Structure 1
C-alpha cells in the first residue's frame, strides 16, 4: 500500500505529539481531535472570530483559525498542514487545492462576496473619483501604493486587474508595496507608511485608522468570491456541522456587519 506524503506528515506530527505527551506523563486528550481547524483568508478575521464566538457559546466545539493570504494557506494545505476547512478569498486558490484532490467536492460552494476600495489615513481623507485616467501616481506624491502582492494575494490580483482595466497600472506599478496579505497592506496605510492602499471593503471597515475614499466598480475586476470547502483529510466530526452553521441565517449577520455579501 502506498502512503501519501500528506499522510506521512500527519503520522509524523501525531507521533511527535504522542511522544511529548508520554514524556510529560499525559494522555492524549480525545477532545483535541474534535477541534475544528480552519484556514481562512486574512480579510475574514473580524467576521469569522465573532461567528466562532457565537458557535462556541451555543455548544459548538472549539475552533482554531489560521489567518493568512489564500495563496499561503493553499500552499500549506498542499504541503500537508492539518486542517478541516479552507475559506479562500478567490476562486483560483480553491481550484488549486481542489485540482489536487484536497477538498471534498460535495462540500465546496461559493460562500461570500466582497468589494475592493481605495483607502487613505482617516485624517487625510478626501473623495477620489475612480475612473479611467485617474492620476493615482500624482495622488501618491512619491509614496507607495499598499496592496496585496499582485502576483499571488487575491486582493492584490483584483487590485491590479482593476487598475489595468482603468489604464492606471503602468503609472503606479513601480510604486506598489506588495504585502503578504490584505491585512498587511491595510496596516501600511493605517500606520502612515503608505499614503494610499487598495484593500477589501471589509478590511477598511475593520480599521478605524483608515477611510474609504473611493470604490472600484465591479466591472473593473473579476467577481470577488470567497469559496468554502471541507478538506479531504479532515478528521473533525464537527466539520460538516460547523460549515453548515457558517452558511446559515444564524451566522449571516456576523459577515454582513463587516461588509460581506452572503451568497445563497
Structure 2
C-alpha cells in the first residue's frame, strides 16, 4: 500500500512540475488563431489561411468586417490574436489604447480606390475634377460605398469625391453599407449602378467592372497594417504576420491586386 501511495505522490508531483514549467504534452499544437481582418482582405486572406493550414498549422478563425467595427470589438475585449486594418487610423486607435503587442505592428499592403459598375453596363465616365457621377447614376440611382464616417473605404471615397469637387452632389445618392464587401455586393446584384471600392474587391467579383481608378493624390494613402493584440497568448500570432510576407502569401496578395509594402 505504501508503494502505491509513493507512486501516486510522485506522479502528482511530476504533473505539478509540468504545469509549473508551462510545458505542453509532446506533439501538442498552439490553439487556432483568431484573426480580425478588414473585409477587403477576404478573398486573399482565405487563400493565405489555406496555405498556412497546409503547412501543418491549425486552421485560423477569421472574422471579417469594417476595420472600425473590428477595432471597437477588440477594444471591448473580443478574443483576437491578430488584427489587419484597411487603414492606419484604426490601428492607431488600438495603439493609443495600448492594445497592441509592442514591436509587432507592420504596414504590409497597399491598394487602389476604384469606381465600379455592373459588368453588363458600359458607362463612359472619366474620373476627373468635376466629373458628373451624380448625373451618371440617374434619377433614383445609388452609389454604393461603405460608411463614410468610419469605414476606411468610405473615408477614402469621401476624400476622393471631395478632392474632385463632386461630394456635395454625390452625397444624397450614397448607399452606405456596413463594410466594403457589402457595397461591392450591391453593385454586383445590380442594386446600385455605381460603387466605390478597392481594386482588389473589384478583381474578386466577376459581376462588376472597373470604370476608372481614383488618382492616388485625391485621397490618403491606402495602407494595411497588421499587429498582434496585446492580450493574445497564442505564440503563433507573430509567426502568422511574418507568413503574410512569405513567398506563398505574397503571390496570393499580388495576384489579388494588392501592392506589397513590407518584406
TM-score (norm. length: structure 1) = 0.87
- Supply the distance in 1 between the matched residues of 2:31 and 2:230 (Cα, whole angstroms): 16
Confirm or deny: 8 A CA contact 1:33 1:235 kept in the other structure: no
- The alignment status of 1:260 with 2:233, answered yes or no, reads no
Match of 1:116 in 2: 113
- The alignment status of 1:95 with 2:92, answered yes or no, reads yes
- The alignment status of 1:163 with 2:183, answered yes or no, reads no
Confirm or deny: 8 A CA contact 1:41 1:67 kept in the other structure: yes
Return the match for 1:53 from 33, 50, 55.
Answer: 50
Confirm or deny: 8 A CA contact 1:125 1:212 kept in the other structure: no
CA-CA distance at 1:113 after TM superposition: 0.2
- The alignment status of 1:75 with 2:64, answered yes or no, reads no
Per-residue CA shift, 1:217-251, capped at 9, x if unaligned? Answer: 00000000000000001121211211111122331
Aligned pairs for 1:1-264 (under 5 A) are: 34-142=31-139, 143-264=141-262
Max radius of gyration: which structure? 2
3-state secondary structure, aligned to 2:50: helix
- Supply the distance in 2 between the matched residues of 1:164 and 1:180 (Cα, whole angstroms): 21
3-state secondary structure, aligned to 1:128: coil
- Supply the distance in 2 between the matched residues of 1:48 and 1:84 (Cα, whole angstroms): 15
CA-CA distance at 1:210 after TM superposition: 0.4
- Supply the distance in 2 between the matched residues of 1:263 and 1:248 (Cα, whole angstroms): 13
3-state secondary structure, aligned to 2:120: helix
Per-residue CA shift, 1:52-84, capped at 9, x if unaligned? Answer: 111111112221100000000000000000010
3-state secondary structure, aligned to 2:47: helix
- Supply the distance in 2 between the matched residues of 1:35 and 1:84 (Cα, whole angstroms): 10
- Supply the distance in 1 between the matched residues of 2:150 and 2:77 (Cα, whole angstroms): 20
3-state secondary structure, aligned to 2:248: coil
Per-residue CA shift, 1:129-161, capped at 9, x if unaligned? Answer: 100010111101021110011001000000000
- Supply the distance in 2 between the matched residues of 1:113 and 1:262 (Cα, whole angstroms): 6
TM-score (norm. length: structure 2) = 0.87
- Supply the distance in 2 between the matched residues of 1:32 and 1:195 (Cα, whole angstroms): 49
Q: Point out where structure 2 has 5 or more consecutive residues left out of the alignment.
A: 1-26
Confirm or deny: 8 A CA contact 1:104 1:231 kept in the other structure: yes
Confirm or deny: 8 A CA contact 2:188 2:208 kept in the other structure: yes
- Supply the distance in 1 between the matched residues of 2:124 and 2:157 (Cα, whole angstroms): 18
Match of 2:9 in 1: none
- Supply the distance in 2 between the matched residues of 1:157 and 1:116 (Cα, whole angstroms): 11
3-state secondary structure, aligned to 1:107: coil
CA-CA distance at 1:31 after TM superposition: 6.8
